[in-house]
Each structure stands twice: as C-alpha cells, then as structure tokens.
Amino acid sequence: MKNTVKLFAIIALTAIITLVACGGNGSNPPPDTRAIIEVASISVTHPVTGVTGSTIAAFNGWHIDEYTLGPVVWEPALEGGKFEADTVYKASVTITAADTDETRFTAAGFEWVKINGEEAGVVIGNGGNTATLSYTFPATTELLYIITADGTNFIATKSGETEPLNTAGTMTNTLQAIRDDFEDERPPVTIQFGNGTDPLTLSAAVVFSGSNWGQVTMSGKITSTIDGNNTTIQVQNTDPKGILTSVADVNVTGSGRAFQVNDGAELTIAGGTITSSNTQGAIVRFEHMSSTVNITGGTFNVTGGSQGIRFNGNSGSATTHLRLNIHGGTFHHTNGDTMIAPNTNDWVTSVNITGGKIQGDNNWALYRHGGNTDATRNLDISGTAWIIGTIAGGDWGWARGVLHIEGSATWNVNISGGKIENIGTGDAENSSGNTIRHQNTNINSEINISGKTIIVREGGEGFTISQRDNVGSKMTIGPDVEIIGPQDLDAAF
C-alpha cells in the first residue's frame, strides 16, 4: 500500500514537472515572434478656440498599410463639438496592427511615434495588437475675434459680445479696432475670418507685424482675389518677432500668393485647405532676412503653373538663413511646376521633412536648385516623409527627378528615412524621369542616404537614383536602404 502511494506521488510529481517544462498553466508562454511595428505617425485637428474638432485621425506619411486608425478621443470632451477658449486639450487615438497574426506593437519597439509631428505617448494594449497614442496640446487662446463682411467693408466682433468693435471699414481699420480692444498689450489672440460658413473675400493684404501683434492664430475661410506681386496674409518683423499660426482655409483665385513670411518672422500652418489655381503666385513665399515656416498639417493644392512653396531671392545676404520644417500635411501640384523650390540666391536654406505627403504630377515634387558656390543648401528627410512624383514624359523627362538636387551651391543632404518614389510612365528611354536626380553640385557637397529609406522607380523608364556631372561631390548609400529599380550612378552625359 505504501509502495502504491509512493508510485502515485511520483507519477503526479512527474506530470507537474512536465506540465511546467512544456509551458503549461501559462507560466512560460511561447515567445512572440511577430514583427514589431517601429513607426507610427498620425494627424488630428489642431485645437484652436472656436474651431470644430474632428474625431477622425489621418495617416501622416507613407505608413498607411501597417495599422488602422481609431477615432480621436478629446479630453476634456468638446462642448458643442468645438474647442473652447483657454483650455488644454489632450488627443488620444488607438491604432490597431493591420495584420495581428504577423505584426505587433511594443513600447520599446517604436523608433518614431508622432501626433502632428510631436512626440506622442504610447500605451500598448490587447497583447500588442493595439497602441494608444496621445499628445497634449498647448492651451487655446483666451481671446477670439470674428471678422465678417458688410458689403465690401469689414466688421470685427469680440466673441461672446453682440456690439461690433468698429463701424464698417477697411481691413486695416478693422484690425486696428481689434488692437485697440487689448490696448498696448500683445496677448495671444485668435481671429476668425468669416462667419464660420461663408468665406470672407479679401482684395488687399492682411499684415501681422510683431511690433503690433503678439502670437496670432487664424481660423475661418478666405477667398483671395489679390493679383500681381501681392500676398493675402503676411507676417513680418524680427524684434518683437511676428508669429502666426493658421488653420484657415485660403483659396487664391487671383494671381497673388496665400502667405508670405518676411524679416525674421515665423509662420506655422497647422491645418486648413490652401488652394492656388493661378499661374504666378506661390502658396507660401519666403522674403527677406532669416524667416521660418513650420507645417504640421493641412492640405495644399496647386493647380496653376506656379511653384507651391518658394524661397525668393529679392534681398538678403550670405548670413540669411531660411528654414522650412514639414512635419505633416498633404501637398499636391498638378500642373507642371514643382511643389517646393528655392530660387537662385546666396542664402543658407534648410529644409527638414519628417512627415506628410508631397506629390508633384508631371514634374518635380521637391526641386532643390540654385545658388552660387557661396550658398549652402541643407536638406534632411526622415521619419514617415512620403515624396512622390509622376514625371510622365517629355523631352526633358530623363533629366528630372522627383527629388532633384542641382546647382553650384554646397549641398548637405541627409536622407535617413521615409519613402521617395516615381510612379510616372513613359515608353521612351528615361523619358519618365528619375526618383532622385543629383547633378552639377559643388565639389564640397555630400549626399548621404541611410537608415530604412525606401527609394522606388515604378513603371516606365528612368532610374531610382541618377547621379550626373558631380565632380568631387560625394554620395553614400547605407546597407539598410531599400532600392527598387535600376540605378545610374557616376555616369556622364
């Protein structure tokens, strides 16, 4: 009997040991071998006093197949669907791996996780199938003014009040009435153009100077009929610095421009739809001295023959430094010119692209050109940036690139992430262009392509990378760069 009891005990103990060793009872689950998603970047509505907040998030760049987007959850909840004054809002979005059998999220695995270009917090859920991203925005402004039309004149009203600040008059007088309302101070303010439904038509420039205004946020809708070498919205001044943030819709129907940045000022476009259908004016133009443009959201459509974002060369010096930072937004040029281009000048220009989608149809998407040997061109592309072109043919198609680097300036180009592709078609040799074109740059120039950058040439003729007539300049391509399509390196005409 004793021997029988001992036998049962041995059998039971052996079963327990075997169960534990085999991972039974959940103590040692098998390792999760699914691939880790390393990048996530999304866009949400930028909170602005009086603006409707959307619950729909958008992809910010080319990682559109790796995960799906849940709704935006706002804290605190939006009253009447709109952002209130003087309030700090937090946006949270849960993303789900598109193929949970093959991929997953881990907090440590994220190399790049952004909301509107800003570092996002991450909480992993559902066994790695989901990740909740969150970001807390700065407080909305306390003051909101609304400008409406009275025929061809304008009236300003302070939010929450019924009595207008001025009798109907010019835009200059209307803006001065707002300035007079907060006297000699320069507080942060939001100005809504239009009644929230109908666009306000402008035929003369709106100028925000740092000497008269503090930080200004624009919302509403504008139709610009401004013509010639003129601009709809202009921000300027160095000391005090002019600072403007816009989420407004601006439709340019005249031959002028949507935005211009002068004299060391700073413009941030965080939302809205900006459209230009004319053949002359750019959507955004840099002018004079060292200025900065930041783009974190919005939709930019150019259907005329003009360049989209232009660095102009009317004045400046070798110490002038113009900076363009693109962290989000959708850019599309449909009519034969380039979406982003600096003019020929001696200045230092720096372009930093970490997100968004920049597309040019039948021409360059990003054309970095110009400058003599005293000029410096800095270009950095990383993150989820998506630069796409459809160079579809023509006699000069072979000499063009979706990303085109040319000119006698000294180039410092670092591409460490993102996706650059040409999907144009053409049946003649090279007629449909190249994905990256590098030619005729200064002997001191360096082009470095590294990280998990993807360079694609799909359809038609042409090359992924074409390097021509660059005597002494240097191009390096890292081992992790994925190149899909033929190359044409160090070739001569």
460-484 pLDDT tens trace: 667 788 776 666 678 889 999 999 8
Amino acid type, 351: V
Q: Is 49 exposed, middle or buried (0-12, 13-18, 19+ CB in 10 A)?
A: buried
Residue 422 in contact with residue 455, Cβ under 8 Å? no
Structure tokens at 462: 């042409």
- The model's pTM: 0.89
| Cβ atoms of residues 308 and 278 within 8 Å | no
For residues 237-261, give the mean pLDDT. 89
Instruction: Pick 151 or 129 by higher pLDDT.
Output: 129
pLDDT at position 188 is 93
Per-residue pLDDT averaged across 350-379, rounded?
81
Q: What are phi and psi of 457, to 5 degrees?
A: -125, 110
d(CA 385, CA 357): 6
CB 311 within 8 A of CB 286: yes
* Spatial separation of the C-alpha atoms in residues 141 and 26, rounded to whole Å: 53
Specify whether the CB–CB gap between 371 and 343 falls below 8 A. Answer: no
Q: What tokens were used for 137?
A: 């925005």
**Can you list the positions of beta strands (E) in 266-418?**
266-276, 284-287, 292-302, 309-311, 321-326, 330-333, 340-342, 348-353, 357-361, 366-368, 376-381, 386-390, 401-406, 410-415
Region 259-285: what's the mean pLDDT? 85
Classify the C-alpha dihedral 183-185-189-191 as positive or negative.
Answer: positive
Strands 35-36 and 103-104: parallel
Q: Tens of pLDDT along 419-446?
A: 998 887 655 454 567 888 887 777 788 8
pLDDT at 338 (0 to 100): 77
Q: Which segment, 22-36, 161-175, 327-341, 428-442, is predicted with the most confidence on average? A: 161-175
The pLDDT value given to residue 371: 63
User: Which of the four pLDDT bands, split at 50, 70 and 90, describes residue 236?
Assistant: confident
- C-beta separation of 306 from 337 below 8 A: yes
Residue 23 pLDDT: 44
CA 455, CA 61: separation in Å to the nearest integer? 15
What pLDDT sits at residue 228?
A: 78
Of the candidates 131, 127, 58, which has an alpha carbon nearest to the alpha carbon of residue 96? 131
Query: What is the residue-averaged pLDDT of the chain?
Result: 83
Task: Report the C-alpha gap between 312 and 266 in whole angstroms.
Answer: 16
Per cent of the chain over pLDDT 70 is 82
What Å distances lie between residue 294 and 151, 188, 325, 328, CA to CA? 34, 18, 5, 9
Domain boundaries, the chain: 35-136, 144-151+183-491
List pLDDT tens digits, range 66-82.
999 999 999 999 999 99
> Which tokens sit at 492?
């001569």
pLDDT at 153: 93
Q: How many CB atoms lie within 10 A of CB 485?
A: 17
